[in-house]
A = this chain, B = another copy of it.
Amino acid sequence: MRSASEDLSTRARIRDAAVALFGRDGFGTTTVRAIAAAADVSPGLVLHHFGSKDGLRQACDRYVVEEFVGRKDEMTRDATSAIARWLADVDRFHPLIDYLARMLSSGTTAADELFDALLTGTSRMLDEQIAAGIMREPEDRDILALYLTLHGLAPLVMRRQVTRGLGLDQLSEEGIRRSTIPILDLYTHGLYSDDRMLVAAREALTRTSGPRSDKGENDPNQDPDPPRPRRS
């Protein structure tokens, strides 16, 4: 059996190298030899430890899921210090985030598991905050929790774009400093100046129209736009 202490050293080094390369280049593009070289071992040893390349992938999946989910509780208990620790050595986790991004956009069961855990966490947080009167009672808690989870994940999955748009790494202290207020502003005051759009959409939907679906022309959730067929 595999003890926790054995998980360090060589085996862990191989796993870390695999996570980094899988995350950066994708599973298919990354070779066992490249992983072995990055971990400074022979290709044979990689297979010795993980059975096959796919076994290595599964081990990486399990590791990343546990690494993220396992810290969830910690976070909800003491968010501030957890964030401080996070910022302390953020570099160490960029590979994990890149791997996570690939997991979430390609549909493995490990990704489902991870997403479910995060969704549950968000739901629980929502319930608590609403009970405490910090958050208002929303239209639909479940769907809100779903989209809040998606919104929270988006900057991680598209980290590169956030970095480009912000001009600096979002996960750096300066990045958080710049984005915190605008995001909290959005989540506090909303986007619209009144509930015209909401009322209009609600009315349009209760008309239970047939093929003509109407989100309201100004729903920002339309972004990005769907293409239409070249020729009807």
Contacts and interface: CB of A to CB of B under 8 A. Distances in A.
Interface of A: 25-30, 67-68, 70-72, 74-76, 79-80, 82-90, 92-93, 96, 101-102, 104-107, 111-112, 115, 118-119, 121-122, 125, 129, 133-136, 138-140, 142-144, 146-158, 160-162, 164-166, 171, 173, 176-198, 201-202, 205, 211-229
B28 A157 contact: no
B134 A162 contact: no
Given A143-B165, A150-B161, 11 more contacts: A28-B30, A86-B226, A86-B228, A93-B226, A105-B158, A134-B218, A149-B224, A152-B224, A157-B158, A173-B213, A180-B219
A147 B162 CA distance: 8
A82 B222 CA distance: 10
A106 B213 contact: no
Given A157-B105, A213-B173, A223 B121 contact: yes
Which of A102, A139, A150 has the most CB atoms of chain B within a 10 A radius of its CB? A150
A17 B190 CA distance: 42
B197 A134 contact: yes
A84 B213 CA distance: 6
Q: How many copies does the complex hold?
A: 2
A135 B173 CA distance: 30
14 contacts: A68-B224, A74-B228, A86-B227, A93-B226, A96-B227, A118-B223, A125-B223, A143-B166, A146-B166, A147-B183, A156-B224, A187-B191, A188-B192, A189-B190
B122 A183 contact: no
DSSP majority for the A interface? helix
Contacts of A96: 227
